[in-house]
Amino acid sequence: MNRQSILELIADLLEYPTAKLISDLKLMSVNDGYGIGEIEIFIREVLSRDLYYLQEIYVETFDMSSKTNLYLSYHVYGDRSKRGLFLASLMELYNKYGFNYNRNELPDYIPTILRFIAKCNNKCIKDTQFKHLISVLSDAIDKIRKNMPQENPYIHLLNAVKIMLSEIER
């Protein structure tokens, strides 16, 4: 798998779990690559549980706790007014590189950011604003992982994100 495919897969896996996702995971084969070991662990854990359990864990982890939510600007600015400026600059970056995202979510939703990173070309990766985004995202992932119990299966996806980001930062 290449970087783009891996980031898109992680983004999909960080969405609310559905029966279709579980069905797709049963058919999937994951090859070696960036962070794949962590993804394989997550998939094994997910497939050993029922859907209701996964949905419960997802909601407890990402929807009920501000310390582990999936909105990047919250981890950077909390509820301060600078959060709006960050969202605006993120939308500007998306527009600059022609990235269309799901407008039902805020632009700082981490799965959306991962999809953007996956689509970035070499010009985008060299952009100062993009580099800042990677740095801020990396710091936020560290905070989320620190506040997540080690037995939570989603920690493996965040570990994989961290591996991917470190490869991009090189």
Question: Per residue in 88-98, pLDDT tens?
Answer: 999 999 999 99
Domains of the chain: 3-169 (1.10.3480.10)
pLDDT at 137: 97
CB 34: neighbour CB atoms within 10 A? 21
pLDDT above 70 covers what percent of the chain? 96
pLDDT tens digits, 57-73: 999 999 999 999 999 99
Does position 102 have pLDDT exceeding 90, yes or no?
A: no
pLDDT band at 155 (very low <50, low <70, confident <90, very high): very high
CB 26: neighbour CB atoms within 10 A? 10
Tokens of 39: 């993804």
Long-range contact list for 97-102, CB < 8 A, 24+ apart?
A: 97/121, 97/124
Which of 17, 16, 7 is closest to 99 using CA atoms? Answer: 7
